[in-house]
């Protein structure tokens, strides 16, 4: 059980670090789209570390905590930015299209 939790924490941490490298690589930027998943996985591993016993407990806790910090670092700018101004009364509905660029091609 502790090995599986450690693997989960390390995968989430690695994905967060890879997503941070998405600033320079278009392909790695795709990992940033799943930041809530990395946060959930790292949180689950950290919570599991609180009930685990054995030598891997500290490693699971620290890796999970680092994964949580990494995921929050990815999501923080979006959550803390100012809200967009509301549309005027009676204005038409606006639809925002979001495109993920992967390898130079829109997905």
pTM of the model: 0.76
Indicate the pLDDT class of residue 86, thresholds 50, 70 and 90: low
Question: Are 35 and 74 contacting, i.e. CB atoms less than 8 angstroms apart?
Answer: yes
Is pLDDT larger for residue 11 or for residue 30?
11
Residue 5's contacts (CB-CB under 8 Å, 6 or more residues apart) are 45, 48, 49, 52, 56, 60, 64
* Predicted confidence band of residue 96 (pLDDT cuts 50, 70, 90): confident
Q: What is the dihedral of CA 17, 25, 40, 1, to 10 degrees?
A: -60
How far apart CA 64 and CA 42 sit, in angstroms, is: 5
Q: Specify burial of residue 49 (Cβ count, 10 A radius: 0-12, 13-18, 19+).
A: buried
pLDDT at 107 over 80: no
Whether 41 shows a pLDDT value over 90: the answer reads yes
**Is residue 12 predicted with pLDDT exceeding 90?**
yes
Confidence check: pLDDT of 89 > 70: no
């Amino acid at each position: 059980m502790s090995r599986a939790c450690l693997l989960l924490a390390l995968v989430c941490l690695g994905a967060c670090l890879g997503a941070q490298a998405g600033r320079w690589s278009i392909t790695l930027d795709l990992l940033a789209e799943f930041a809530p998943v990395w946060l959930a996985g790292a949180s689950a591993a950290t919570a599991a570390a609180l009930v685990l016993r054995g030598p891997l407990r500290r490693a699971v806790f620290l890796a999970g905590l680092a994964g949580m910090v990494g995921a929050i670092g990815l999501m923080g700018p979006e959550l803390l930015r100012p809200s967009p101004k509301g549309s005027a009364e009676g204005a038409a509905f606006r639809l925002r299209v979001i495109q993920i660029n992967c390898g130079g091609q829109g997905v």
